Amino acid sequence: MSPAPPGAWTGPDYSASVLTRLAELDVIVFFKIDRLARSTVDFAEIMRLTERQSVALASATEPLDLTSSMGRAMAKVIAVFAELESELAERGRLRGGGTRAARRKEAGHVAVVGALR
Protein backbone atom coordinates (compact mmCIF):
# COMPACT_ATOMS: atom_id res chain seq x y z
CA MET A 1 0.00 0.00 0.00
CA SER A 2 1.40 3.39 -0.88
CA PRO A 3 1.75 6.07 1.80
CA ALA A 4 -0.79 8.84 2.07
CA PRO A 5 -0.02 11.92 -0.03
CA PRO A 6 1.40 15.00 1.69
CA GLY A 7 -1.28 16.93 3.56
CA ALA A 8 -3.56 13.88 3.89
CA TRP A 9 -5.04 12.95 7.24
CA THR A 10 -4.97 9.30 8.25
CA GLY A 11 -5.40 7.32 11.43
CA PRO A 12 -8.15 6.82 13.99
CA ASP A 13 -8.77 10.49 14.73
CA TYR A 14 -8.57 11.82 11.18
CA SER A 15 -12.30 12.60 11.09
CA ALA A 16 -12.04 15.12 13.91
CA SER A 17 -9.02 16.76 12.26
CA VAL A 18 -10.75 17.01 8.92
CA LEU A 19 -14.07 18.27 10.27
CA THR A 20 -12.42 21.13 12.14
CA ARG A 21 -10.73 22.33 8.93
CA LEU A 22 -13.53 22.04 6.37
CA ALA A 23 -13.12 25.64 5.20
CA GLU A 24 -9.70 24.66 3.76
CA LEU A 25 -11.01 21.72 1.72
CA ASP A 26 -12.79 21.15 -1.57
CA VAL A 27 -13.29 17.39 -1.24
CA ILE A 28 -12.88 14.64 1.33
CA VAL A 29 -11.90 11.32 -0.23
CA PHE A 30 -12.39 8.25 1.94
CA PHE A 31 -11.79 4.54 1.32
CA LYS A 32 -15.30 3.28 2.10
CA ILE A 33 -18.34 4.79 3.78
CA ASP A 34 -18.17 2.25 6.60
CA ARG A 35 -14.62 3.47 7.34
CA LEU A 36 -15.67 7.12 7.40
CA ALA A 37 -18.27 6.60 10.15
CA ARG A 38 -19.51 3.56 12.05
CA SER A 39 -22.76 5.15 13.19
CA THR A 40 -25.60 6.58 11.16
CA VAL A 41 -25.72 9.62 13.44
CA ASP A 42 -22.02 10.35 12.83
CA PHE A 43 -22.40 9.84 9.09
CA ALA A 44 -25.44 12.14 8.93
CA GLU A 45 -23.51 14.80 10.87
CA ILE A 46 -20.52 14.51 8.50
CA MET A 47 -22.84 14.87 5.50
CA ARG A 48 -24.57 17.88 7.07
CA LEU A 49 -21.30 19.64 7.93
CA THR A 50 -19.74 19.04 4.53
CA GLU A 51 -22.88 20.20 2.68
CA ARG A 52 -22.99 23.39 4.74
CA GLN A 53 -19.33 24.13 3.90
CA SER A 54 -19.73 23.06 0.21
CA VAL A 55 -17.17 20.29 0.62
CA ALA A 56 -17.69 17.24 -1.57
CA LEU A 57 -17.51 13.68 -0.24
CA ALA A 58 -16.08 10.99 -2.49
CA SER A 59 -15.56 7.29 -1.90
CA ALA A 60 -12.43 5.81 -3.45
CA THR A 61 -14.02 2.35 -3.82
CA GLU A 62 -17.79 2.86 -4.08
CA PRO A 63 -19.37 4.28 -7.25
CA LEU A 64 -21.75 6.69 -5.53
CA ASP A 65 -22.67 10.17 -6.65
CA LEU A 66 -23.12 11.90 -3.31
CA THR A 67 -24.35 15.05 -5.06
CA SER A 68 -27.60 13.34 -6.12
CA SER A 69 -30.55 12.39 -3.93
CA MET A 70 -30.24 8.73 -4.92
CA GLY A 71 -26.51 8.66 -4.16
CA ARG A 72 -27.02 10.22 -0.72
CA ALA A 73 -29.81 7.73 0.02
CA MET A 74 -27.60 4.79 -0.96
CA ALA A 75 -24.78 6.17 1.20
CA LYS A 76 -27.16 6.32 4.17
CA VAL A 77 -28.22 2.70 3.57
CA ILE A 78 -24.55 1.67 3.54
CA ALA A 79 -24.03 3.61 6.79
CA VAL A 80 -26.95 1.72 8.39
CA PHE A 81 -25.35 -1.61 7.49
CA ALA A 82 -21.94 -0.40 8.74
CA GLU A 83 -23.53 0.42 12.10
CA LEU A 84 -25.26 -2.98 12.19
CA GLU A 85 -21.99 -4.74 11.38
CA SER A 86 -20.21 -2.83 14.13
CA GLU A 87 -22.90 -3.71 16.69
CA LEU A 88 -22.88 -7.40 15.71
CA ALA A 89 -19.09 -7.55 15.91
CA GLU A 90 -19.15 -5.97 19.38
CA ARG A 91 -21.84 -8.39 20.54
CA GLY A 92 -19.77 -11.29 19.21
CA ARG A 93 -16.69 -10.05 21.03
CA LEU A 94 -18.61 -9.72 24.29
CA ARG A 95 -20.28 -13.11 23.97
CA GLY A 96 -17.39 -14.92 22.28
CA GLY A 97 -14.92 -14.82 25.16
CA GLY A 98 -17.12 -16.95 27.41
CA THR A 99 -18.04 -19.50 24.77
CA ARG A 100 -14.43 -20.00 23.71
CA ALA A 101 -13.48 -20.63 27.34
CA ALA A 102 -16.37 -23.08 27.72
CA ARG A 103 -15.33 -24.96 24.56
CA ARG A 104 -11.77 -25.30 25.86
CA LYS A 105 -13.08 -26.80 29.11
CA GLU A 106 -15.34 -29.22 27.23
CA ALA A 107 -12.38 -30.30 25.11
CA GLY A 108 -10.41 -31.14 28.25
CA HIS A 109 -8.08 -28.15 28.16
CA VAL A 110 -6.73 -26.96 31.48
CA ALA A 111 -5.90 -23.33 32.09
CA VAL A 112 -2.24 -22.78 32.90
CA VAL A 113 -1.78 -20.60 35.97
CA GLY A 114 1.98 -20.62 36.33
CA ALA A 115 5.04 -21.68 34.40
CA LEU A 116 7.60 -24.41 35.11
CA ARG A 117 11.29 -23.70 35.00
**Averaged confidence pLDDT in the chain:** 76
The C-alpha angle 45, 48, 54, rounded to 5 degrees, equals 140
Predicted model pTM: 0.61
The answer to whether residue 28 sits within a structural domain is yes
* Widest pairwise Cα distance in the chain: 68
The answer to whether residue 116 sits within a structural domain is no
The answer to whether residue 44 sits within a structural domain is yes
What is the pLDDT confidence band of residue 104, given thresholds at 50, 70 and 90?
Answer: low
The answer to whether residue 94 sits within a structural domain is yes
The answer to whether residue 98 sits within a structural domain is yes
Looking at residue 64, which CATH number applies to its domain? 3.40.50
- Provide the pLDDT for residue 36: 81
The answer to whether residue 102 sits within a structural domain is yes
What length does the chain have? 117
Average pLDDT over residues 52-68: 88
Domain count, the chain: 1
The pLDDT of residue 99 is above 70 = no
Helix (H) or strand (E) holding 59: strand 56-59
What is the pLDDT confidence band of residue 70, given thresholds at 50, 70 and 90?
Answer: very high
The answer to whether residue 64 sits within a structural domain is yes
**How far apart, in whole angstroms, are the C-alpha atoms of residue 55 and residue 65?**
14
Domain that holds residue 36: 14-106
**Residue type, position 105, single letter:** K
What is the pLDDT confidence band of residue 20, given thresholds at 50, 70 and 90?
Answer: confident
Measured CA to CA in angstroms, residue 11 lies from 16, 20, 30, 58, 59 at distances of 11, 16, 12, 18, 17
What is the pLDDT confidence band of residue 106, given thresholds at 50, 70 and 90?
Answer: low
The pLDDT of residue 117 is above 70 = no
The answer to whether residue 97 sits within a structural domain is yes
The C-alpha angle 47, 31, 76, rounded to 5 degrees, equals 35
What is the pLDDT confidence band of residue 65, given thresholds at 50, 70 and 90?
Answer: confident
